[in-house]
């Protein structure tokens, strides 16, 4: 199914997306020539469609009668794949109630992959996000990577490959997905659904069009100007930081932190360039709030605060008390980042 402007997210049959064509052809050539590595590490920014690409490539590698470098969509294998019941396809991700991919999941996968394929063809596993494997899980995967059963293909998907164990990384063939240029990404997004706020959403997403698509319907994103108003009121002491932190703690923590990051990144941009052109700002529609927030904030303190936000983002991937984290950040913000003014620049990015 192609993307048809219905506002629906694309499915695996829409792959390759426009910016994935070269990578798709490269992987497809390996498949055709029989030189397919047994493990691929698919990297790229969040929302560039890596997981979709991995699914589509798995469907192609399992398809019995591929045509023009695509899965046929008709054969028994394709029909099972589309129905989510292909016996030789396995998808491993973080369990809903956990924050990591666990060793038991990898052991079970290893045992399954060691068995003979039910269709007499390949056995394929997609691990996403692969960097979420804890160290025991990564160690367990090494055995499968070192002695793969014939016909095994492991597709590791990661937006943060640096967080993946080096021993795992070094045993995979790397496939780096290009981030589409902003005009290309906006053209694609407008083809899915015409919206005027795609530039802001794409900026908040960090350049990944599929992530921008996921963010668009979220309440906190639609009403982010309210969040920025909250930040302005905290600075003018007309709002209580602890109460605000309690309110924000009810929202998804990574999203709250990302919005705070883009707010501070815009302030840094304005503080650096004086009158930043609207196009340079992620939250160009919040320009007046940004302008009124800027007086009294030092560039050094803003950099240090951005460093703290980056650390908070990493903490948010662990079991952490989100409300305490937000209280700390909002108290610093309400205080005009006074405690960060003395911080040496060297510590700003840490």
What residue ranges bind Zn ion (CB under 5 A)? 63, 71-72, 75, 78
Closest CA to 155 of 91, 112, 94: 91
Q: Which is nearer to Zn ion, 71 or 248 (CB)?
A: 71
Instruction: In angstroms, give the least distance from the CB of 65 to Zn ion.
Output: 6
Closest CA to 6 of 168, 195, 191: 191
Helix axes 224-235, 241-248, angle to 10 degrees: 160
Instruction: In angstroms, give the least distance from the CB of 14 to Zn ion.
Output: 16
Q: What does the radius of gyration of the chain's CA atoms come to, in whole angstroms?
A: 23
Among left, alpha and beta (phi > 0; psi -120 to 50; other), residue 99 is: alpha
Q: Which is nearer to Zn ion, 75 or 114 (CB)?
A: 75
Question: How many Cβ atoms are within 10 Å of 154's Cβ, its own excluded?
Answer: 26
Instruction: In angstroms, give the least distance from the CB of 70 to Zn ion.
Output: 9
Q: Which is nearer to Zn ion, 63 or 326 (CB)?
A: 63
Q: Please give the Cα distance from 138 to 131 (Å, whole number).
A: 9
Instruction: In angstroms, give the least distance from the CB of 81 to Zn ion.
Output: 8
Q: Which is nearer to Zn ion, 117 or 214 (CB)?
A: 117
Instruction: In angstroms, give the least distance from the CB of 21 to Zn ion.
Output: 21
Q: Please give the Cα distance from 89 to 125 (Å, whole number).
A: 6
């Amino acid at each position: 199914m192609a993307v048809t402007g219905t506002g629906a997210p694309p499915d695996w049959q829409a792959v390759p997306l426009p910016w994935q064509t070269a990578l798709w052809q490269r992987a497809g050539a390996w498949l055709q020539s029989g030189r397919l590595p047994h493990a691929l590490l698919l990297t790229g920014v969040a929302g560039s469609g890596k997981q979709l690409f991995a699914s589509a490539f798995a469907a192609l590698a399992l398809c019995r009668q591929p045509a023009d470098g695509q899965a046929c969509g008709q054969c028994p294998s394709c029909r099972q794949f589309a129905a989510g019941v292909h016996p030789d396809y396995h998808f491993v991700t973080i369990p809903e109630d956990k924050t990591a991919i666990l060793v038991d999941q990898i052991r079970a996968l290893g045992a399954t992959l060691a068995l003979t394929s039910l269709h007499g063809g390949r056995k394929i596993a997609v691990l996403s996000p692969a960097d979420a494997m804890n160290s025991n899980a990564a160690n367990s995967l090494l055995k499968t990577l070192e002695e793969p059963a014939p016909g095994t293909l492991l597709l590791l998907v990661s937006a943060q490959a640096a967080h993946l164990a080096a021993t795992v990384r070094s045993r995979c063939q790397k496939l780096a997905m290009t981030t589409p240029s902003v005009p290309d990404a906006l053209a694609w997004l407008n083809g899915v659904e015409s919206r005027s706020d795609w530039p802001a959403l794409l900026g908040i997403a960090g350049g990944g069009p599929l992530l921008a698509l996921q963010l668009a319907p979220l309440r906190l994103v639609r009403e982010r100007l309210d969040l920025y108003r909250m930040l302005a009121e905290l600075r003018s002491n007309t709002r209580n930081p602890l109460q605000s932190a309690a309110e924000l703690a009810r929202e998804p923590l990574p999203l709250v932190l990302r919005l705070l990051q883009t707010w501070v990144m815009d302030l840094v941009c304005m503080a650096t360039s004086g009158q930043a052109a609207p196009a340079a700002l992620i939250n160009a529609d919040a320009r007046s709030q940004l302008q009124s927030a800027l007086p009294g904030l030092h560039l050094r303190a803003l950099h240090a605060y951005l460093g703290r936000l980056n650390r908070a983002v990493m903490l948010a991937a662990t079991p952490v008390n989100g409300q305490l984290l937000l209280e700390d950040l909002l108290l610093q913000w309400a205080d005009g980042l006074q405690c960060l003014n003395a911080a040496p620049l060297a510590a700003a990015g840490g």
